[in-house]
Structure formats: C-alpha cells, structure tokens
Amino acid sequence: MSPRSGAFSPPSENVAGAGGTGYLALMSAALTPEQQALLDGARKFFADAHPLFGLLAFEPRKVSRGELEIAATLSEDFRQLDGAAEVHGGLLTIILDSVMGFSVFTALDELKPVATINLRSDYVTLPQVDENVLCTAVCETVRDEVAYVNGEVRSMSGDLYARGAGTFMVGTRGPSLASVAGGAR
C-alpha cells in the first residue's frame, strides 16, 4: 500500500477564486475544530518539508465533509518531452492520488492514517505545462475500514483532463496526521 500524509501548501496569489487566506475561512466553516487544527498543522508542516507538493503549489479551494477541491499548477518538471507543451500523464495520477487520499480524512470522524489500496486513472486530455488545474475528490463512503473515492482533474474552464477511482485503507499502521498537526493522537 502507499501510505500517505496529505499536504496543504500555502495558497498562491495567482489563482482566481478563493486565493489568499480565504480558503481558511472555507475550511473553518466546513470542518470540526480538530480537523481544522490538523489541516492547519499539515499545511505548515508540508510547506517546509514536502518538495513534491511544493512543486505543484497545491491550494485548497473548497472543503466539506468527504469532499475536497484543490488547485494545482503543473510544474515544468513534469513536461512530457523537451519541446512538448504537455505534461506527462503521470502527473495527473500524482494529483489524483494526493487529493483523493486527503478527501478521506475529511470524511472520518476520527483522524487515522490512510493508505492507497488501488487507483485507476483515465487520461482524457493532457494539460499543458504551467497550467492551473482543479482537482476534486469525493469520498463516497467508508465501509469496513475501506474508503471509496472518486476524483477528477479539470481545466479552470471545466474541461475534463482525467478521472480517477480508488480505494483507501483507513487505520493503517504508522504515524497519523495528528502527529503532524500536533493535535490529538
């Protein structure tokens, strides 16, 4: 399995919508105080300690129970070939796995470690380097410690780039996100 911790990096200024600190208000309206503390702690931690998510400039746009929308900027590092305009499709799987996994946290009553069991990604169109995209994920249900999640990556104007469907194991061994946030353990 692929254990995760999820990440929120600081919001960038160049994405329309809930930029700046506005996303914190969105989170506060949707999450419990414990979840809010966790997400704030994770955001601070990964802003300094997570090179991969730093490359993608993840910016939470909407958060509610079991649902998450993240804006990301497609880094030059993932260009498919020198001289090509498009990113490698694997970047879409990296984004889907990250956002879909984090949506599981928002669906849980008690925060626990989560690991990807499997993930299917369908690539419809490859976006271009430096493009801003939106990734939405919905944790449909959690049953018998398995979370069932769907996700999409779209352009800012709504064109579908990729869709994902995956399952995630809840309550795996290893450090929980609570230890990242310094909250309840």
- What SS3 state is found at 154? strand
- Closest to another protein by CB, 20 vs 77, is 77
Torsion of CA 84, 136, 106, 178, to 10 degrees: 10
CB atoms within 10 A of CB 16: 9
Position 119 contacts another protein (CB under 8 A): yes
CB atoms within 10 A of CB 142: 18
C-beta of 174: minimal distance to another protein in Å?
5
- Closest to another protein by CB, 65 vs 163, is 163
Read off the tokens for 82.
């020198």
Quick one: which of 4, 43, 61, 154 contacts another protein (CB under 8 A)? 4
Read off the tokens for 71.
């804006």
CA distance 75 to 88: 10
Quick one: which of 28, 62, 67, 122 contacts another protein (CB under 8 A)? 122
- Closest to another protein by CB, 43 vs 88, is 88
CA distance 110 to 65: 13
CA distance 104 to 94: 16
Nearest to 169 by CA among 5, 6, 2: 2
Position 185 contacts another protein (CB under 8 A): no
C-beta of 183: minimal distance to another protein in Å?
14
Quick one: which of 17, 112, 115, 155 contacts another protein (CB under 8 A)? 115
Quick one: which of 9, 180, 181, 183 contacts another protein (CB under 8 A)? 180
- Contact status, residue 61 vs residue 21, Cβ threshold 8 Å: no
Position 94 contacts another protein (CB under 8 A): yes
Position 160 contacts another protein (CB under 8 A): no
Position 3 contacts another protein (CB under 8 A): yes
Kindly identify the residues of this chain, within the stretch 9-68, that bind another protein according to CB under 8 A: 45-46, 49-52, 55
Residues that bind another protein (CB under 8 A): 1-5, 45-46, 49-52, 55, 76-82, 87-91, 93-98, 101, 115-123, 126, 174-175, 179-180
